[in-house]
A and B are shown apart, each in its own frame.
Chain A
């Protein structure tokens, strides 16, 4: 909207536009607020979710780590227990064989002559007592000759017994029985080859006169030990057990055949040298845990091997379970957070929607919901909007009033009667040859109209308003043939102050028509225009010594409408009074004093504002409601 459009002709649209502009000025604030509100909801959502997920992750990882450690520890302890129990069982088995060997030696061989029938019977009894396990009980001389054997069988001719490991170990370790590694028995003819473990010891033989050294051999099936080891199983998948001697030679292993064939390998060197306990090692890049337990009397080691991957495999279910739990909790938390964030932010969003509706031109109706603070905010915003609406309406009303007043004031200047009478007087003067007086009248009329228009301005200097009044009075004096006097007494210091235009002329008009206009020359009618500075500003005064008016009329003249005189312009005191109040403020305007037959004094109260372009625009803008 241009300033010209706003000035006089299209003020309603201008006002409407400004109203909408005012409302729209709230838009950036609303937009910013709306953006912040959306992020508040999202921020609440994200913050709660992140915090919860972080806490759950920490708890989950801690629990999982703890569980893994505990589970691993439990698996190791369970394995150690198994190893201990199995070792005891194996030791009992080996002790059983030792007891058989002891019985054969101490009860039979030492008590009987070698080759005696009783010896053979006792050896036979010992064999029969446990022939499921015992393969052979045999006695050899120190030169390797077979002296006695159960069960009876043909001895193989080829093998040199003295070169077999069990025989050499017995001869070398005289005091101690010796357990060999599992091997295929190569002593007697048999239908099948038997895997045996040889328990051999050096014995003293009763051969008659002098005792001789011999070797007692007890071959028992290695399958008992192999089965015992095969039955061992760990709590973890991939875990296995094996038995080796102190040099790392395998005695029993679930994959012994594959290892002997070279299809697989087992590194037993570390386990064989390690004391009882737990050993962590890496073989071919694979980490594993060995749990070692020694077997008494033999130097054998029972070893449990747990690949570290077995621990992880065992924990797979737990890990999956924890992940599922975390995921479910996360989904629930996400949904709950959304609900909570929504509930917290909904009243704010509704408030925002209400503001949006108002900006779009709706009624200032704010939905007061939510927490105490939001409700207070809503009420405050509603009160603000209502106040804005009232102020806007007030501005509109004032602008309308001002427009009407100015239109009326302008209308008075082009009142046909006044113009007609004035032109008529000019015509009369010209016809009467009073050209100078006619020229004077025309020039005064021109001045009058020029100041009336004042380039469309509403605020003019006091000087111009006085000139307007002078021009008007000069015209009227000519018409009234100087029946009254006019005096102008104004100090210079107020001449360059701001005033509303066309305020003195109506007062002078009233002074003429209701005061001195009908007085005779001899009555000495007089109109005095004066002015000055007062406490709150400046004043302009029009006073006459005419007929005056009753007090009650004087009191009501500014409120009860205008008296339209048939000779007057029709613009009354009320118009002037309202225009001054509109443009200058309500504390300014007219004050009327009158006494019948004494005269009337009307004072115009104005602020003392120096006339500058800036002040003029401010005062005129104030009148526009800006």
Chain B
């Protein structure tokens, strides 16, 4: 009798445990599951040059059912500003972080430290110890050099070149510069200046115009390319031909107007998409982060509306 009663109680307890589990599942299923937050910290995020990246990031966030928290239009030229913005983003509940540090050194060290306790992805800049999703900056700079050589063929000897760089030390511009210099090595072109500028509009135009007159201007970032293109369009660049790396609609317009000779255009949408995808993968237990390299296109005025560039034009259009 006692054995039978014990058996009965055991079975009822077991069923009650299963019932509790099912009830909990039902309640949890009905409750809206809180979505994970991924923080995005990039310098001047509201600038047009980030539109493609943020479009891709938002598309990935919707596909992966996560929430993007973008630090609005922050100036991250100072390491302390970057540090503060990152800390604020993390303390607001971000489960993963996407960042484009403008300055190297302490900013990258902060990323390295954070990567120990949450997924951290660098966008657009590579680092040995932190996962990055970036185009091959060296290859893009090299492509700029190749386009210059293709246009001038053997006629570069004696030509002068001015190089515009962003005022940052995160490394991406340096890699592009290395690529450019390697591509032009032995071409005979003379580099008259390498100028770092992060000022926009007239401030930036002043910086460029103060430089020596050159035959060719190579701008290795979107801001400087846009300024140089505007100056070329308004014939204030003393006839210099402009090449460079760009990612905004403005530079496409300048290219179409032939103010720019060639633009190396990284696939920012894919970069934004894959950065978020990588962060989501990092949030899954047991999955390690894998760095990714983003493709880029070489655009000329004649090829801007080619079928190969339909996707790019679609993303850049409204």
Contact = CB atoms under 8 A, between A and B. Distances in A.
Contacts of A182: 314
A38 B5 CA distance: 12
Interface string A162-186: 0000000000000000000011101
A158 interface: yes
B135 to A, nearest CB: 14
A193 B317 contact: yes
Interface of A, secondary structure class, is helix
28 contacts: A159-B305, A184-B310, A184-B316, A191-B253, A192-B317, A194-B317, A223-B318, A257-B59, A257-B315, A260-B310, A260-B311, A260-B314, A261-B269, A261-B273, A261-B311, A263-B270, A263-B273, A320-B22, A320-B26, A324-B23, A327-B15, A327-B18, A328-B19, A330-B15, A331-B12, A334-B11, A334-B15, A338-B8
A506 to B, nearest CB: 63
A111 to B, nearest CB: 35
Nearest to B305: A186
Interface in B97-115: none
A233 to B, nearest CB: 13
A338 B1 CA distance: 12
A262 B310 CA distance: 12
B29 A255 contact: no
B139 interface: no
A42 interface: yes
A282 interface: no
B47 interface: no
A159 B303 CA distance: 11
B301 interface: yes
Interface string A317-344: 1001101100110110011001000000
3 nearest A-B residue pairs (beta carbon): A260-B311, A193-B317, A184-B313
A327 B313 contact: no
A230 to B, nearest CB: 11
Contacts of B301: 158
A260 B308 CA distance: 10
Interface string A201-223: 00000000000000000000001
Contact of B29 (A257, A317, A338): A317
A41 B30 CA distance: 42
Contacts of A256: 314
A316 B315 contact: no
A27 interface: no
Contacts of A194: 317-318
A261 B267 contact: yes
A195 interface: yes
Contacts of A193: 249, 252, 313, 316-318
B30 A257 contact: no
Nearest to A338: B8
Interface string A427-455: 00000000000000000000000000000
Contacts of A330: 15
A347 to B, nearest CB: 15
B29 to A, nearest CB: 6
Contacts of B200: none
A258 interface: yes
Given A193-B317, A195-B318, A331-B12, A257 B269 contact: yes
Given A193-B252, A255-B59, A334-B15, A320 B29 contact: yes
A330 to B, nearest CB: 6
B75 to A, nearest CB: 26
Contacts of B310: 183-184, 260
Interface string B293-318: 00000000110010000110111111
A158 B25 CA distance: 63
Nearest to B302: A158
Interface of B: 4, 8, 11-12, 15-16, 18-19, 22-23, 25-26, 29-30, 55-56, 59, 63, 249, 252-253, 256, 267, 269-270, 273-274, 301-302, 305, 310-311, 313-318
B318 A255 contact: no
A258 B315 CA distance: 10
A317 B26 contact: yes
Contacts of A316: 29
Q: Which interface residue of B23, B30, B305 has the most chain A CB atoms within 10 A?
A: B305
B55 A257 contact: yes
Given A159-B305, A184-B313, A257-B314, A324 B22 contact: yes
A258 B59 contact: yes
B60 to A, nearest CB: 8
A320 B25 contact: yes
A327 B29 contact: no
Contacts of B63: 255, 258, 264
B156 to A, nearest CB: 28
A263 B278 CA distance: 13
Contacts of B314: 182, 184, 195, 256-257, 260
Nearest to A41: B4
Contacts of B22: 320, 323-324, 327
Nearest to A164: B305
A317 B30 CA distance: 8
Contacts of A323: 22
Nearest to A256: B314
Contact of A195 (B18, B253, B273, B317): B317
A263 B55 CA distance: 14
A334 B55 contact: no
Contacts of B19: 324, 327-328, 331
A317 B316 CA distance: 43
Contacts of B25: 320
A572 B183 CA distance: 151
A620 B15 CA distance: 68
A156 B258 CA distance: 12
B273 A321 contact: no
Given A158-B302, A223-B318, A324-B19, 15 more contacts: A159-B305, A184-B310, A184-B313, A192-B317, A193-B249, A193-B313, A194-B317, A194-B318, A255-B59, A257-B56, A257-B311, A317-B26, A327-B19, A331-B12, A338-B8
Contacts of B18: 327
A255 to B, nearest CB: 7
Contacts of B256: 156
Contacts of B12: 331, 334-335
A38 B301 CA distance: 95
Contacts of B318: 192-195, 223
Nearest to A223: B318
A321 B26 contact: yes
A338 B11 CA distance: 12
A42 B8 CA distance: 11
A469 to B, nearest CB: 68
A307 B167 CA distance: 50
Contacts of A320: 22, 25-26, 29
Contacts of B26: 317, 320-321, 324
Nearest to B313: A184
Contacts of A334: 8, 11-12, 15
Nearest to A191: B253
Contacts of A159: 305
Contacts of B252: 193
B292 to A, nearest CB: 12
B17 to A, nearest CB: 10
B29 A42 contact: no
A541 B22 CA distance: 98
Contacts of A335: 12
Contacts of B315: 257, 260-261
A264 B277 CA distance: 13
Interface string A30-70: 00000000100110000000000000000000000000000
Contact of A42 (B4, B16, B249, B311): B4
A311 B29 CA distance: 15
Contacts of B302: 158
Contacts of B316: 184, 193
B14 to A, nearest CB: 10
